[in-house]
Structures are given as structure tokens and as C-alpha cells.
Amino acid sequence: MVSEEKYKIEDFNEWFNDIIYKAELADIRYNIKGLVVFRPWSVFSISYMFRVYEDKFNETGHQQLILPTLIPEENFLKESEHVEGFSPEVFWVTQHGNENFENKYALRPTSETAFYYMFSYWLKSYKDLPLKTYQRANVFRYESKATKPFIRGREFYWYESHNIFETLEDAEEQVLEDMQITEEMLHDTFGIPFIFFKRPQWDKFPGAINTYAADVILPNGKILQLPSTHLLGTKFTETFNVKFKDRDEKEKFAFGTCYGPAISRIYGGMIGVHGDCNGLRLPFELAPIQIIILPLYFSDADNQKIEEMCLDIAENLDKIGYRVKIDDDKEKTPKERFSYYEMKGVPLRIEIGPKDIFQGTITVFRRDFNEKIKIYIADIYDEIKKISLEFTNNLKKQADLEFSEKIVTVDNYNDLLEILDKENKIIRVPFCSIEDGKECADKIKFDTKGADIRGIRMDFDENPDENDTCVVCGKKANCIVYIGKSY
């Protein structure tokens, strides 16, 4: 068991691997590197995350499709910038049985070239727009960096939304809607704080006009990119001849966007943000078991009455709609059982022993605050309802506070280098330009051994002071950017 909270910060990778193993979230022993087996405890939560995302897509007028996993090479070759960006990561299928295909096929790394190929058949008139679509899919990318379950794999699981519109303004509105969906899902539902950045031009999605991405800060100060949304303009519609007749019967190219929330990676971010030295801490709605009931056995006690009380409480909680389980294992000590369910991230633990029978109380352990409280049996259902409604919000508040503490502002280059070398922080600095400041960005990356310009934040206007200069080149600063090292 992890014994010190600083372990999570100072050796996050080892802590993360420890949690995955002990909480039985994934198994890395499958014999293809970078492809892992997700185990039932994580799959339950990931499936819930898929469902709430799907509900949101349906609510906002998206229609679900299922497209093939294989994409013909000719689709990729039609858009040079796109193929250049993804070619090093593509898995290619080249034969069936012992015979080679005449043309090779990609295991989809992303699906723009499949969606737009089909859009060219479906789109005829402005009356067909907007066309907002999505699919649930697994995608394959030959990740060359060190792989890590959930965070960086060669196969991951996501929703991808591909949309086309009559005007550029409509497409820009979709990008804003994608950001709002991300806020409602990641922060409000899963309790994960993040900043949505407009990425620099040299770090945008291949083929996009602009890329916007949600970055979460992990305990070790490294950044994990979560959902991103891309304003594609007419890049792919022109490539795949996706035209429509407007109100004047003139043919025009539609305007596109795409959005990719990788649910498996969001789950990994959630582990890192909410977990602690004792294991997982899961939002109440995502926990496979929301309430575990532990009878505490004593040799000289009336254990039958304890078991009867546990069963009565469990049945009533089940009727209310909670996911509840009784653990009546007599072989393990109470401490072993406590540790097991804390590692698994079960939100509430009810302990019932001989004194509770006598006093008419129960002990409830809350995983959000890691504290025990006494509750009279007569009040148990009202108290549990109250706790269940505030539980995820408590995790969110704690995560928000930790997130804000990891951001520092500097205005000179030496301080930037020193902080990134010694501390787990994200640096906020004045910068020359995210349009043509790549030379300054490259210098930062080289001098810090890997820190990137993440972009300018989108949740509010943040402008440099009149006299601010770029922290690298000394020219007049045109923006405020954030710098950090990422997975």
C-alpha cells in the first residue's frame, strides 16, 4: 500500500501503476505492447462515461453512425497535411491469409477521411445542413513514447464527432458547443478540472484551421490532453468534394468540425486527479459499488443480529437505487477489508459491530474526506442521500484547489527554466505570438528538455499588459500562454 501522499506527486508513474494493479483496473500482460486488457472495475465506470456522453450528443442534435474500422490508403492520400501528420502512427493491414491486398488499409487512427468520403454522397442541399454525426469507436496509433494504461496506449476508446455546416460561423458555434459539452462532462460530472486552450498554429491537428484542447494537470505537474475540438473549415470538404446547393442554387463547400473525447484517457486522468495515497477515489455516480457494508465480527458478540441489520440496510438501500454490497468475509481482518475498498475507491463504507446494535448507530466512512462519522440508524437513509448528492462536488472542489495551486506566473526566462527544472508547475508567461512564435517555442522546448507552449486559454479573455514583452525573445507580447511538459 502506498504510505505517503508525496509518493503520488514525486513518483506519479509508480503510484499510477500501483493503483492500476492493486485496484484491478487493467492487465498489461497481453502479448502486444501498448494494448491492454481493461478489467471489470474500470469497464463499469468507462461504460457509464460513454453513456452520459452519448446522452449529451443526442441532446445536442448529433446522430450516431457506425463506420468501418479499415480506411483505404487512397482516402488518406487525398489530404497531404493530414496524411503527413498521421502516417508515422498508422497500423496498416496489407494481406489476407497468405495473399497481399492490392491496396493497403489503415486501422483508423481517426476517421475524418472515412466520414467525409461518405458525406460526399449524403450532402445535396443546404436543407441537409447542419449534419452532426458521431460514432463510438476504438482507434489505433503506434505510439512511440512509453505506453501507459489509459493515459498513453496504442489502442484507445473514444467518441468522435464529425460535423458539417452551411457557414464558417455555424462551424465556429459548434466548436464552442464542444467546449461546453466538455465542461459539463469532465468538470461537472467527472469532477476533473482543466483549461481549454487554443493551440499554437505549429501544434494544431493535421488539416485544421485551429485546434482547441482541454488540458488537465496531473499531480506530478505533467499535462494530459483530454478532449480536443478542431475547426476544419473547408479543408476536408474540398478534398472529398463535399458540396451542397445553397438557396440560390449555387454549389458551395460545407464547413467542417471534429471533436474527440477519448473516454479511456479521461478515465486515466480521473484516476490521477482524484486518487490519493490509499487508492482510487471515484465520483459517486461512477463507482461500481457505491456503498459497501461491513459486518464487524466478534467471537463473543451476537453476530447473527449484526448480519440481520446489515441485510436489512442493504435491501433498503438497494430499493432506493444505490449499488450496494455486503462483505461478510470472516477470514480477513477489518483493516484488510477497509484497505481493499479504499483502494477500489468505493465512496461510502458502512461498518456495523456489536456497539452499533446496542447504541442504534452505524459508522460511515466517507472516501471524499477520508473520515468516519456516526449516524443514528433512524437517520441513515436521509444522511446517505445527502452525502451522495454532495460527494462528487467535494472531489471537484478539492481537485480545483490543487489545480489552481499548480499554475504560477513568471515574466523572465531564467525563472521559467528554474521552476520547470525543480517544481511540478505550469508556467503562465507573456509571449510573442501563437501564430508565428515557433522559434521561441522551440527554444523553450530545447532548454527545458520537453516543455511545450500549450496555447492561450479560451474560458476568458486574458491579455498581456501594455508593457509586457515575450519571455523568450523580448519582443512585444501579444498573448499570455501556458507552458508545461506533457504525456
Residue 367 has pLDDT above 70, yes or no: yes
For the chain, give every residue range classified as CATH 3.40.50.800: 289-389
CA distance 297 to 333: 9
298 pLDDT band (50/70/90 cuts)?
confident
pLDDT tier for residue 383 given thresholds of 50, 70 and 90: very high
Q: How confident is the model at residue 77 (pLDDT cuts 50, 70, 90)?
A: confident
* Superfamily the domain 289-389 falls into: Anticodon-binding domain (3.40.50.800)
Residue type, 293: I
Residue 235 to residues 79, 125, 199, 242, 272: CA-CA distances in angstroms? 8, 19, 18, 10, 36
Assign 320 to helix, strand or coil. helix
* 11-14-18 Cα angle (round to 5): 135
Over residues 228-239, the mean pLDDT reads 96
Cis before 430 (ω within 30): no
Domain with CATH 3.30.110.30 in the chain: 407-484
- pLDDT higher than 50, residue 116: yes
Query: What pairs with residue 215 in β-bridges?
Result: 195, 225
| pLDDT per residue as tens digits for the range 384-413 | 999 999 999 999 999 999 999 999 999 999
For position 482, what pLDDT does the model report? 98
- Say how many C-beta atoms besides its own lie within 10 A of residue 315's C-beta: 12
Q: Give span(s): CATH 3.30.930.10, the chain.
A: 6-274
Cα 160 to chain centroid, rounded: 14
Instruction: Yes or no: say if 101 and 226 are a contact pair by the CB < 8 Å rule.
Output: no
Ordered strands of the 91-96 beta sheet: 70-72, 99-107, 91-96
**Which among 138, 177, 174, 178 has a CA at the least distance from the CA of 158?**
138
Q: Which residues does 25 contact at the CB level (< 8 Å), separation at least 6?
A: 19, 38, 39, 41, 42, 149, 150, 271
253 pLDDT band (50/70/90 cuts)? very high
Q: 29-68, pLDDT tens digit by residue?
A: 999 998 999 999 999 999 999 999 999 999 999 999 999 9
**DSSP conformation class of 288:** S
Give residue 2's pLDDT band: very low, low, confident or very high (50, 70, 90).
very low
Enter the C-alpha cell of residue 445: 522546448
Give the other-Cβ count within 10 Å of 15's Cβ: 23
SS (H, E, C) 216-258: EECCCCCEEEEEEEEEEECHHHHHCCCEEECCCCCEEECEEEE
The mean of the pLDDT values for the chain is 94
Per-residue pLDDT, 143: 82
Backbone phi, psi, residue 388, to 5°: -60, -35
Give per-residue pLDDT as tens, 427-449: 999 999 999 999 999 999 999 99
Rounded to the nearest 5 degrees, what angle is found at the Cα of 333, between the Cα atoms of 329 and 337?
65
Nearest to 259 by CA among 193, 292, 211, 311: 211
Residue 261, pLDDT score: 97
Q: What percent of the chain has pLDDT over 70?
A: 97
* DSSP character string of 58-97: HHTT-EE----SEEEHHHHHTSHHHHHHHGGG-EEEEEET
> Residue 70 — very low, low, confident or very high, per pLDDT cuts 50/70/90?
very high
Partners of 325 in the beta sheet? 292
Q: What integer pLDDT is reported at residue 80 of this predicted model?
A: 65
What radius of gyration do the chain's Cα atoms show? 26
User: Residue 334 phi/psi, 5° resolution?
Assistant: -55, -40
Name the band, by pLDDT with cuts 50, 70 and 90, for residue 302: confident
Which DSSP state fits 187? I
Confidence at 145, pLDDT banded by 50, 70, 90 = confident
Q: In the predicted model, what is the mean pLDDT of residues 416-427?
A: 90
**Right CATH for 6-274 from 3.40.470.10, 3.30.930.10, 3.20.20.70, 3.40.50.10090:** 3.30.930.10
Domain covering 407-484 assigned CATH 3.30.110.30 in the classification: yes
pLDDT of residue 3: 46
Q: What sign has the CA pseudo-torsion 25, 282, 137, 74?
A: negative
Q: Which three cell numbers stand for residue 135?
A: 460514432
* CA 172/CA 232 separation, integer angstroms: 10
